[in-house]
Structure 1
Amino acid sequence: MARREFDEFEAVSAMVPSPEGYDAAIAVKPLHFAGSPTFHKVLAGQKFKTALEADQAANQQLARLIGVDAEGQLVFPASN
C-alpha cells in the first residue's frame, strides 16, 4: 500500500474484492476531516487474481496521479 498527500486529500493504493478477483483502486480521504474514504476503481475492466497484484497495479496508478480535485476525484495527466 502506497500513500500520497495532495492539498486537501490523501490518496492510498487499494484493492477491491469482486467475484471475479480483485480490482485495483485508489482510496481518497480528506486530510483534515474524519470520515470514510471513497474508493475509485482504476484500470477499468482489468481483474487481478490476487490482492497483491491489484495493489501493485494501484501503486503504479497512484504514482501517475497528479492531484485530487475539490470534489475528491482523481486527476491524471491527459493521455496523448
Structure 2
Amino acid sequence: MARKEFQHHEAVSAAVPGDDGYSAAIAVKARVMGGAPTFHRVLAEQKFPTALAADDAAVKELERLADVTQEGELVFARD
C-alpha cells in the first residue's frame, strides 16, 4: 500500500475483490472532515489474480496521480 497527500485529501492504493479476481483502486478520503473513503477503480479493464498484484498496479497509478479535486475526483498527470 502506498499513500499520497494532497491539499484537501489523502489517497492510498487499494485492491477491491470481485467475482473474477481483484481490481486496482485508489481510495480517497478528506484530510480534515474524515469520513469513509471513496474507492476509484483504476485500470478498469484489468483483473488481477491476487490482492497483492492489484495493489502493486494501484501503486503505479498512484504515482501518476497529480491531484485530487475538492470533490474527491482523481486528476492524473499526462503521459
Q: Which residue of 1 aligns with 2:53?
A: 53
Structure 2 stretches of 5 or more lacking a match?
none
SS of the aligned residue for 1:45 comes to coil
Distance 1:43 1:11 in 2: 16
Larger strand proportion of the pair: 2
Count of residue pairs brought into register by the alignment: 79
Q: What's the offset of the Cα at 1:34?
A: 2.4
SS of the aligned residue for 1:70 comes to coil
Distance 2:34 2:48 in 1: 31
Determine what percentage of the aligned residue pairs are the same residue. Answer: 59
Distance 2:8 2:56 in 1: 25
TM-score normalised by the chain length of structure 2: 0.96
The runs of at least 4 aligned residues of structure 1 exceeding 3 Å deviation read none
Q: What's the offset of the Cα at 1:11?
A: 0.2
Root-mean-square deviation over aligned CA pairs: 0.8
2:75 pairs with 1:72? no
